[in-house]
A and B are shown apart, each in its own frame.
Chain A
Amino acid sequence: MFHWLEKHPFFFAVGVFVVIAYAGLIEVLPNFMEKARPIKGLKPYTVLELAGKEVYKKDNCIACHSQLIRPFKAETDRYGQYSMSGEYAYDRPFLWGSKRTGPDLHRVGRYRTPDWHANHMWNPKSVVPDSIMPAYKHQFTNVADLETAYAEAVTVKKVFNTPYGDDIKPGKAAFEKYKKEKILPEALKIAKAMKRDDLVKMVESGKVPEVVALVAYLERLK
Chain B
Amino acid sequence: MTAWDALRAALDSLRANPLRSALTMLGIVIGVAAVIAMVAVGAGAREQVLRQIASLGTNLIMVGQGSIVRGGVKLGAGTASSLTEDDALAVLSEIPGVVVTAPSVRWGLQIVAGNQNWGTVLFGITPDYMDARDWSIAAGHGLSDVDVAQANKVVVLGQTVVRNLFGGGDPIGEPVRVFSTPLTVVGVLAEKGQNTQGQDQDDVIFVPLSTAKRNIPGMAKSNPRFIHTMVVKMRDGADMADAQAQIRDLLRQRHRLIPGQDDDFWMRDLSEVSATRDASSRALSFLLAAVAAVSLLVGGIGIMNIMLVSVTERTREIGLRLAIGARRRDILVQFLIESTTLSLIGAAVGVALGIGTAMGVAELAGWPTLIQIDSVVLAVVVSGLIGVFFGLYPARRAARLNPIEALRHE
Does A associate with B in a complex? no
Q: Which residues of B contact A (CB under 8 A)?
A: none
Q: Which residues of A contact B (CB under 8 A)?
A: none
